[in-house]
Every structure is written in C-alpha cells, then in structure tokens.
Amino acid sequence: MKGIGVDIVDLERLDINNLHFVKRILSDREFQLYHQMKSDQRRLEFLGGRFAGKEAYLKAYHKGIGGINFQDIEILNDESGCPFLNDENAQISISHEKKYAVAFVIVEK
C-alpha cells in the first residue's frame, strides 16, 4: 500500500507534565530521549513532533486513531539528526515553528 499523511499539532494543547499522557504517545526509547532533554520547550517540541508524526503515519496507512498503538510507532533520529520511522517503507519529515509541530509521512510500499 502507498500513501501520504500530514498532521499538525498545537503545542500549547500538550501537557508535558501529564506523564500518563506522555507515555501513551511515546515508545520506551522515545520516552528515554524525552527525559534527557534539557528544557521544557525542547520536550514540548519533541512530544508534539512525535504526536504529529504518528498521526501522519496512521493517515498514510489509512488507519484511524487506535488502528495502531502509538507506542508501536517509533520515531528516532539518525546520526545527523534526521527523524526516521521504525518502518522501512515509510519516510518522515517533522518541523517546528513557535507553537506548532507538523509532520509529513510517505509510505512507499
């Protein structure tokens, strides 16, 4: 299946102090990275980017929320800082601007 997906998140709507919510969005490895971040702003951007990326991934696969568990979708960064998904058939781009995070996913196969 081929598909594209895009999502945007208003960072002001995310509660980085609600660890139950954060753990519902992030995989275990993403959660470890989240806790290593030095500032609340960086944690907010990270969480927002992962949330938008996972929503965009679900849209690219034509799945609704709940179609795939968010913890099963993992977005990490390579050595140069570029994000990648734990799906070799998918490509992702994430961007942040002031109070928004946006992600775009292409599924190639």
User: Among residues 96, 98, 99, 109, which one is catalytic?
Assistant: 96
The span from the CA of 103 to the CA of 56, in Å, is 6
Residue 96 is among the residues annotated as catalytic for this protein: yes
Check if 59 is active-site. Answer: yes
At residue 71, what is the residue type? Q
Residue from 59, 63, 98, 99 carrying the catalytic annotation: 59
Whether the Cβ atoms of residue 108 and residue 62 lie closer than 8 Å to each other:
no
Helix, strand, or coil here: 2?
Answer: coil
Active centre residues (catalytic): 59, 96
